[in-house]
């Protein structure tokens, strides 16, 4: 595990450089504040799991990794925009994120809304630039379309909207599963699928990657529910018990702690089985990642 953690840290450092390279740059003093707000949140740490999944999935098939870098930056930009907006007073109204003041606390609500919008736009700009620069054609377009789909109304945004509509209401397992699958899992599914599309894989392979992402995404969200109750502010970098504060039904409310933990293990077991259908010599890092996820505390 120590070995895994040092490689994880190295990969995170590489991603910081990629994000910094693709981040929006200040063109005049007029756009200073919005660029500062966007980059404050983008460069504020975070586990960077989505770009890592994208890169490692691509590496199941190819080593020419330079072409995936704009897409790694783009998925983290979309993720960061969703966190900025999720923290707003109109949504979860949180003051702390990744151990720092949330974007609206630091820059004001109006600028934070625009910073989220700015990152969303920039994500598509860098994917299109990357597609043109590396002549990726269909590969780049399919990856960008996938990210648009999985982060939009049919994915993360749709899940977030349902989550808001059901706030404070009794909820059954089907509704909660819909919310988790869309709000959290969809973007993780995209990270695996985009790696497949960029490596020019056929539909059946991308579908397998989508299921792999779904297992990891659902396990990740159930763990998030558990950590919201049992985690601490130092490890999480955010204030726990946010679900209770926002009157949200969680997996634990419906299934209980023991069964929630069992679901995490079952989903990660399925992910491991799916992963073993790929080239054995290339799956080591993702295998270690699944093992790390089983025990994650943050
Ligand atoms: C506002 C359109 C819109 C969507 C918001 C991301 C999201 C959807 C809501 C966040 C609420 C939340 C805490 C969901 C649980 C799973 C999740 C996405 C956790 C945060 O992701 P991590 O743990 O965060 O990868 P870091 O900070 O490590 O990047």
The percentage of the chain sitting over the pLDDT mark of 70, rounded to a whole number, equals: 97
Q: Is 49 in the pocket of ligand 1 (CB under 6 A)?
A: yes
Atom from ligand 1 closest to the CA of residue 238: 27
Q: Can you read off the two tokens belonging to residue 132?
A: 């043109």
CA-based end-to-end distance of the chain? 15
Average of per-residue pLDDT across 151-175 = 95
Average of per-residue pLDDT across 44-69 = 97
Q: Is 208 in the pocket of ligand 1 (CB under 6 A)?
A: no
Would you state the pLDDT for residue 282? 95
45: left (phi over 0), alpha (psi -120 to 50) or beta: left
Angstrom distances, CA of residue 106 to CA of 84, 102, 261:
11, 6, 36
Q: pLDDT-derived band of residue 236, with 50, 70 and 90 as boundaries? A: low
Q: Is 223 in the pocket of ligand 1 (CB under 6 A)?
A: no
Alpha-helical runs (H) found in the chain:
2-22, 32-42, 49-58, 69-87, 103-107, 109-133, 138-151, 156-165, 173-180, 186-198, 203-230, 233-236, 242-245, 251-255, 257-275, 284-294
Report the distance separating Cα 190 and Cα 114, nearest Å.
24
Instruction: Give the tens place of pLDDT for each residue, 251-273.
Output: 888 999 899 999 999 999 999 99
| Ligand 1 pocket mutation, candidates 224, 229, 237, 249, criterion most atoms within 8 A of CB | 224
The whole-model pTM stands at 0.94
Would you state the pLDDT for residue 9? 96
- Nearest alpha-carbon partner for 143 in 88, 99, 200, 101: 200
Report the distance separating Cα 272 and Cα 286, nearest Å.
9
DSSP three-state, residue 101:
strand
Least confident of 3-7, 93-97, 133-137, 175-179: 3-7
* Half-sphere exposure for 19 (CA within 13 Å, toward CB): 26
Q: Is 86 in the pocket of ligand 1 (CB under 6 A)?
A: yes
Angstrom distances, CA of residue 15 to CA of 21, 47, 63:
10, 10, 17
Q: pLDDT-derived band of residue 1, with 50, 70 and 90 as boundaries? A: low
Going from the Cα of 134 to the center of ligand 1, the distance in angstroms, rounded, reads 31
Provide the mean pLDDT of the chain: 94
Q: Whose alpha carbon is nearest atom 26 of ligand 1?
A: 46
């Amino acid at each position: 595990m120590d070995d895994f953690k040092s490689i994880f840290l190295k990969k995170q450092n590489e991603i910081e450089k990629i994000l910094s390279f693709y981040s929006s740059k200040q063109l005049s003093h007029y756009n200073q504040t919005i660029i500062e707000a966007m980059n404050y949140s983008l460069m504020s740490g975070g586990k960077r799991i989505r770009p890592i999944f994208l890169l490692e999935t691509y590496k199941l098939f190819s080593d020419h990794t330079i072409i995936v870098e704009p897409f790694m930056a783009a998925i983290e930009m979309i993720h960061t925009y969703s966190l900025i907006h999720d923290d707003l007073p109109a949504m979860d109204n949180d003051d702390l994120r990744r151990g720092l003041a949330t974007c609206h606390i630091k820059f004001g609500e109006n600028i934070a809304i625009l910073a989220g919008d700015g990152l969303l736009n920039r994500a598509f700009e860098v994917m299109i630039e990357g597609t043109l620069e590396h002549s990726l054609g269909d590969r780049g377009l399919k990856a960008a379309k996938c990210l648009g789909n999985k982060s939009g109304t049919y994915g993360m945004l749709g899940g977030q909207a349902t989550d808001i509509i059901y706030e404070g209401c009794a909820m059954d397992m089907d509704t909660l599963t819909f919310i988790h699958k869309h709000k959290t899992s969809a973007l993780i599914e995209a990270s695996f699928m985009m790696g497949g599309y960029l490596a020019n894989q056929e539909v059946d392979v991308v579908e397998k990657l989508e299921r792999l992402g779904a297992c990891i995404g659902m396990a990740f969200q159930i763990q998030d529910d558990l950590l919201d109750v049992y985690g601490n502010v130092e490890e999480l970098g955010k204030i726990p018990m946010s679900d209770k504060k926002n009157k949200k039904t969680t997996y634990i409310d419906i299934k209980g702690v023991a069964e929630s933990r069992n679901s995490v293990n079952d989903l990660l077991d399925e992910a491991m089985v799916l992963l073993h259908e790929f080239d054995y010599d290339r799956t080591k890092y993702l295998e270690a990642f699944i093992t790390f996820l089983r025990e994650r505390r943050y």
